[in-house]
Amino acid sequence: MSYDVDIIHEAILAVGAVHRASLGGQEALRFKVLGFRAYGNVLKRLPNQLTESLTTLIVLVLLTYFEVRETHQIEHSSDHTVFH
């Protein structure tokens, strides 16, 4: 069970860090990197979770939110190097 909580926590960390990065400030790039690292960790661990349907559903919803948020930011940035 703790493994289930760990992967959900990592997915929440990814979303939270990217959200924090979107607020700007001196630490924005650091938070963006933290978010993408957490996102990558979740993607690596996800195949082992496919038998846990509730955990998988929660993680997939969080990762979808992460991807939609990042895609939206990239498409609406003025020069594709600065994320708002």
In the predicted structure, residue 84 carries a pLDDT above the cut 50: no
R_g over Cα of the chain: 14
Question: Looking at residue 82, what is its pLDDT?
Answer: 47
Least confident range of 2-6, 12-16, 67-71, 77-81? 77-81
Average pLDDT over residues 16-23: 90
Percent of the chain topping pLDDT 90: 27
CA end-to-end distance (rounded Å), the chain: 37
Query: How confident is residue 52, by pLDDT bands cut at 50, 70 and 90?
Result: confident
Phi-psi region of 77 (alpha: psi -120 to 50; beta: other; left: phi over 0): beta
Question: Looking at residue 2, what is its pLDDT?
Answer: 61
